[in-house]
Structure 1
């Protein structure tokens, strides 16, 4: 058999993939029914994303188009809605600088923006009537492809996640007035990769959430967060599903890898399993492999479960795993963020009853089809995930990591022993909810 044609086809296919991956993307969208700003693409309320239209409003969400008039063509017209709406654009894998122009010349507005699977990007951006603001943030887009035909082994639930599709999706919440949007592929960002389980992953549906989808809120451009975590995973299954291979394939020198495992690892009961055996060996392997490509690993201890002892304080339910992570960090001279300690302080500060408001504890009928209460002491709701993301940011600052200079300038001094009041913290819920508990416990 002559293999030359097959090899040629394979080489061409790989070349096309590489070209696609490095493809320049630069979209400029002008929203509304008025005259179009120069070099912008007009987006009308009826512009709908589809196989033939590679950008537009998505998931049957509706907006109102308004033409206010004025000399500035970009802000003279806009789209509005007091309900969540989605806008998508087909883009290849990479990091994207997103610039939104928000405001309305005749009315006040307030906007929260989430990307992909509910990653918080902008929070409560308020504009007065006649006021316009421009905000920029970075969104990472990933796909399953690795190299040599290998792909990430996704779980069935991941196949429909926005994080793994072939487009960039933005969700606009509150009372959004959107005038302009720019999407530009950029190569100059430091990428922070997240490896972890259900306490880290971007949870797709309300009321579940994790710190990995909230931490994006606290970085300015210069940092891209690439969340490769997934519910139910251990260090071993993360590696076995080729997620570490994927990260090593696309990471560049100077990028970071945050590693948080333990909840599921402690359930492994093989002869060589345990905190000071397979867990320690695998953690060291993650560190060494990422260092080989010039990356900077960071070890994060597992979040505490909400479990109070007779003394009214949070008790350790993770055995030796947090201690093992600390020992690996010390032995390998790796930065450590002790999230286990900080989350215990957070729960203790809230107290046994109030701490339920940081996790998925909801009375029956809080969500469609929910005829029974939800009571989960491992998985966070948006408030809890937001507070824990602040703990991670505190750990970055305390460890004096290089990426600390990219933390937003208005990040408040945070103390896990003095968390935000859960009764005053507000979150605009996304349209989709699920009663299915994430894998892992």
Structure 2
């Protein structure tokens, strides 16, 4: 308070009075802080703004770029499946997509985003949690979460936090990447992460949306060539945002995101999740899913 500094220097009584007033205000705050050894981390600014609930009950989506909303940009074809799930809701405002690009279970929590989600929950809400792509980035200590230790612990913590607030947690396995070999066989690169999600879901009796399995069958049904049309593949010289082109086998374009959203919605109905009642009756054309071929080892 620069305007008070000269007065305080010339009037010791005012200085003492101000110091006492500040001490009276700050001491309770310090005591409260000392009683809580784990204050909520600050939210780190990012291109993905925080979402605020305007009604309850609400379906909250929590995850990474494969789920996240993308900022409107006519030159960016990338879409998250959660973004295309919103039009499937009877009331789109009943869906809140907290997912953000590049996040793992670790960074989503460390950056304060999980704490924000918890502030938006009310009894009767549902929280669908899908991570794994970025947890596996072992060279990035800000995101890496070992599948069998910290990733598992983070998922368990998410489940407990949601239940403490009277909401219902839902877990989803990470989505398959488009990784076909020269013989047209699809390979899984997620390691132990999908299995850990399934294990946590079983152990804690959490409903499971097995997007890993469903996306596997979806991509196998499409095959190596046709599946390209669902991902962000851009030819050089055709897009000002990516003048050199882009071949992205992780992120979806609008067609891919909309088909995966329809697959997720159909599975929610099949599982008879209560939140499935919030979906529109009119179901988009369901993408075909391959039947498990004889001898195929499902991931």
Q: TM-score, normalised by structure 1?
A: 0.53
Of residues 140, 147, 171, the one that matches 1:275 is 147
- Return closer, same or farther for 1:299/1:164 CA change in 2, 3 Å cut-off: closer
Of residues 214, 227, 231, the one that matches 2:84 is 214
- Return closer, same or farther for 1:415/1:364 CA change in 2, 3 Å cut-off: closer
Alignment map for 1:15-414 (pairs within 5 Å):
151-155=42-46, 157-158=47-48, 163=49, 187=55, 189-204=56-71, 205=73, 206-221=76-91, 224-268=94-138, 273-368=145-240, 370-412=242-284, 414=286
- Return closer, same or farther for 1:298/1:165 CA change in 2, 3 Å cut-off: closer
- Return closer, same or farther for 1:331/1:273 CA change in 2, 3 Å cut-off: same
- Return closer, same or farther for 1:230/1:417 CA change in 2, 3 Å cut-off: same
User: C-alpha distance in 2, partners of 1:221/1:408?
Assistant: 8
**SS in structure 2 at match of 1:364:** coil
User: C-alpha distance in 2, partners of 1:414/1:233?
Assistant: 29
Q: Which has the larger radius of gyration?
A: 2
- Give 5+ residue unaligned stretches, structure 2: 1-18, 30-38, 291-299
Higher relative contact order (CA 8 A, sep 6+): 2
Number of residue pairs the alignment of both structures matches? 254
1:175 paired residue number: none
- Is the 2:173–2:198 contact (alpha carbons within 8 Å) kept by the matching residues of 1? yes
User: C-alpha distance in 2, partners of 1:274/1:4?
Assistant: 45
- Is the 1:222–1:406 contact (alpha carbons within 8 Å) kept by the matching residues of 2? no
- Return closer, same or farther for 1:297/1:353 CA change in 2, 3 Å cut-off: same
- Is the 1:253–1:294 contact (alpha carbons within 8 Å) kept by the matching residues of 2? yes
User: C-alpha distance in 2, partners of 1:403/1:333?
Assistant: 17
User: C-alpha distance in 1, partners of 2:278/2:287?
Assistant: 20
- Return closer, same or farther for 1:311/1:150 CA change in 2, 3 Å cut-off: closer
**SS in structure 2 at match of 1:297:** strand
- Is the 1:197–1:233 contact (alpha carbons within 8 Å) kept by the matching residues of 2? yes
**SS in structure 2 at match of 1:341:** helix
**SS in structure 2 at match of 1:379:** strand
User: C-alpha distance in 1, partners of 2:241/2:204?
Assistant: 49
- Return closer, same or farther for 1:408/1:263 CA change in 2, 3 Å cut-off: same
User: C-alpha distance in 2, partners of 1:316/1:216?
Assistant: 28
Q: CA deviation at 1:274?
A: 2.0
**SS in structure 2 at match of 1:265:** coil
User: C-alpha distance in 1, partners of 2:253/2:235?
Assistant: 14
| CA deviation string 1:291-315 (max 9, x = no partner) | 1001111101101000013552321
**SS in structure 1 at match of 2:158:** helix
Q: CA deviation at 1:395?
A: 2.3
- Return closer, same or farther for 1:316/1:251 CA change in 2, 3 Å cut-off: same
Q: CA deviation at 1:373?
A: 2.0
Q: TM-score, normalised by structure 2?
A: 0.77
- Return closer, same or farther for 1:254/1:223 CA change in 2, 3 Å cut-off: farther
Q: CA deviation at 1:149?
A: 9.6
- Is the 1:251–1:293 contact (alpha carbons within 8 Å) kept by the matching residues of 2? yes
Bigger helix fraction: 2
**SS in structure 2 at match of 1:266:** coil
